[in-house]
Amino acid sequence: MKRECLLGGTWETEHILFTAAKPGCDGCHILLWITRLFVSHALTNFSPDRADKVPKVREEIVKILLVEDSLAIRQENERVLLKAGYEVVCAKDGVAALKLAKTEHPELILLDMMLPKMSGPEGLTQLKKNSATTNIPVIVLSSLSEKNRQKLIEAGADEYLEKPSLSPTPGTNLLPKILEDVICRINRKRGIALSSIPVDKAGV
Distance CA 131, CA 194 (A): 24
pLDDT score at 15: 43
Using one digit for the tens of pLDDT, what is the confidence trace for 153-185? 989 999 998 888 888 788 889 999 988 888 888
Annotated domain spans of the chain: 2-57, 65-190
Distance from C-alpha of 146 to C-alpha of 149, rounded to nearest angstrom: 5
pLDDT for 27? 53
The pTM of the whole model exceeds 0.75: no
| DSSP labels, 65-130 | EEE-S-HHHHHHHHHHHHHHT-EEEEESSHHHHHHHHHHH--SEEEEESS-SSS-HHHHHHHHHHS
Query: Rounded to whole angstroms, how far apart are CA atoms 89 and 161?
Result: 19
Q: How confident is the model at residue 149 (pLDDT cuts 50, 70, 90)?
A: confident
Q: Reply yes or no on whether the pLDDT at 134 is more than 60.
A: yes
Say what percent of the chain tops pLDDT 70: 63
pLDDT digits (tens, 9 = 90+) for 42-86: 555 555 565 555 444 434 688 999 999 999 999 999 999 999 999
CATH code for residues 65-190: 3.40.50.2300
